């Protein structure tokens, strides 16, 4: 079962910035245990561009599709047997990243 694991940061109360070594070690473990599918940290939301080509002409807009205090800072994709395992790893991930984590199954 695949889950999208989102790391959520808070603009007014951001998590600590020294987490990279711990995150790398956690990733190594995910890989060794066979749960790791993909991982990536995201650049700031200000760097986003939204494209809407539903009408006659494609419209590009600068900035994220929704401005919010909380935003997506990074993602993982994990392959694990069930939600219990996903939640167990996400509980550790939240400590490791010092940020909130959302776990959402793929269809």
Partner 1 sequence: MSAVEEAITSAHRAEWARVVAALTRRFGDLDIAEEAAAEAFASAVERWPADGVPPNPGGWLTTTANRRAIDRIRRESKRDDKQKEAQLMYDDDPPEPLGAVDDERLRLIFTCCHPALAMETRVALTLRMVGGLTVAEIARAFLVQESAMGQRITRAKTKIKAARIPYRVPAAEDLPARVSGVLAVLYLVFNEGYLATGPDTDPVRHDLTTEAIRLTRLIRALLPADGEVAGLLALMLLTEARRAARVSASGELVPLGEQDRGAWDATLVAEGHRLVRERLAAVAAGGAAPGPYQILAAINAVHTSARDVRDTDWSQVVALYDQLVRLDPSPIVALNRAIAVAELDGPEVALAAVDRLAEPLAGYHAYHVTRADLLRRLGSSEQSRAAYDKAIELAGNTAETAYLARRRDQLG
Site for partner 1, rule CB under 8 A: 1, 81-84, 87, 103-105, 107
H or E element at residue 23 = helix 20-32
Closer residue to partner 1 in complex, CB, 2/19: 2
Q: Which of 19, 37, 22 is nearest to 78 (CA)?
A: 37
Closer residue to partner 1 in complex, CB, 97/103: 103
Closer residue to partner 1 in complex, CB, 28/102: 102
Minimum gap (Å) between residue 103 Cβ and partner 1: 8
Whether 97 and 6 have beta carbons less than 8 Å apart is answered as no
Q: Which residue has the tokens 């990243």?
A: 97
């Amino acid at each position: 079962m695949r889950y999208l694991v989102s790391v959520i940061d808070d603009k007014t109360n951001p998590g600590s910035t020294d987490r990279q070594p711990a995150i790398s070690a956690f990733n190594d473990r995910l890989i060794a245990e066979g749960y790791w599918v993909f991982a990536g940290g995201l650049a700031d939301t200000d760097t986003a561009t939204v494209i809407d080509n539903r009408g006659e002409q494609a419209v590009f807009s600068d900035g994220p599709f929704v401005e919010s205090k909380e935003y997506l800072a990074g993602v993982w994709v994990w392959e694990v047997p069930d939600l219990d395992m996903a939640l167990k790893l996400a509980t550790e991930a939240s400590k490791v990243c010092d940020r909130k984590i959302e776990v959402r199954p793929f269809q």
